[in-house]
Chain A
Amino acid sequence: EAGVAQSPRYKIIEKRQSVAFWCNPISGHATLYWYQQILGQGPKLLIQFQNNGVVDDSQLPKDRFSAERLKGVDSTLKIQPAKLEDSAVYLCASSFTSDGYTFGSGTRLTVV
């Protein structure tokens, strides 16, 4: 089966600019997650969708981060405005059941 697709692979922006990341999950996976992985740390959950509804966004910095999954398939994560501390790899994952998560290769964001 095709994996979780993410784009772009790399992005460099200046602070205070905006940026968006795209994720296409595995076909049939109703649940989609966005994680932030800062260099040297484990991934941290930002938001979880079940179909097109938000299940958990308790760790999403809502003043600058937003995410949507309008048709219950693809998802977009946006940062506006970006800060230096947002430099990280943003990982998307999807699952059919709670014991089977598949991760994409991630988008590496550098904020300068």
Chain B
Amino acid sequence: AQSVTQLGSHVSVSEGALVLLRCNYSSSVPPYLFWYVQYPNQGLQLLLKYTTGATLVKGINGFEAEFKKSETSFHLTKPSAHMSDAAEYFCAVSDKLGGGADGLTFGKGTHLIIQP
């Protein structure tokens, strides 16, 4: 069974500083990997995804992530944090189990705090 580990339930950075949110996964087959952002009382918004091809993936709002198979990692980065980036971030994996089952397995989430 697949699983996702997000290191750090809370991450605090200063405005303008580098954002790094860590995600490691386990999967029995080449996975599809996702990062979602969730603002209070809202649903999940897709930031970016990796399916196949280029391992460096660019998403919305200046975020990007790199798929590293050897490290089973998919860390999320942003060069310069903005106050509006404060939210909950979730890493998720889908490894397309047999029979068409492709629901997502999520990590526990990382709460990103931006210090002014």
Interface residues of A (CB under 8 A from B): 4, 31, 33, 35, 40-45, 48, 50, 55-56, 91, 93, 98-99, 101-106, 108
- Nearest CB of A to B116, in Å: 25
Least CB separation from A108: chain B residue? B41
Q: A48-B101, A55-B99 are in contact. Are A98 and B94 (CB under 8 A)?
A: yes
Which chain A residues border B36 with CB–CB below 8 Å?
103
Q: A41-B108, A42-B107, A98-B94 are in contact. Are A91 and B44 (CB under 8 A)?
A: yes
- Please determine whether B105 and A45 come into contact, CB atoms closer than 8 angstroms: yes
Contact pick for B43, options A33, A50, A56, A91, CB 8 Å: A91
The winner among A31, A42, A43, A93 for most chain B CB atoms within 10 A is A42
Which chain B residues border A42 with CB–CB below 8 Å?
4, 90, 92, 106-109
Interchain pairs with CB closer than 8 A, number: 61
**8 further interface pairs, Cβ-Cβ under 8 Å (given A43-B90, A103-B44):** A35-B103, A42-B90, A43-B44, A45-B103, A93-B44, A98-B102, A99-B51, A105-B43
Q: Mark B83-102, 1 if CB is under 8 A from A, else 0.
A: 00000001010101101111
Kindly state the separation between the CA atoms of A79 and B55 in the bound complex, as whole angstroms: 42
Q: A91-B43, A101-B46 are in contact. Are A41 and B109 (CB under 8 A)?
A: yes
- Nearest CB of B to A102, in Å: 8
Kindly state the separation between the CA atoms of A35 and B36 in the bound complex, as whole angstroms: 14
Which chain A residues border B34 with CB–CB below 8 Å?
101
Q: A41-B109, A45-B105, A99-B32 are in contact. Are A55 and B100 (CB under 8 A)?
A: yes
Least CB separation from A41: chain B residue? B108
The winner among A99, A102, A104, A105 for most chain B CB atoms within 10 A is A99
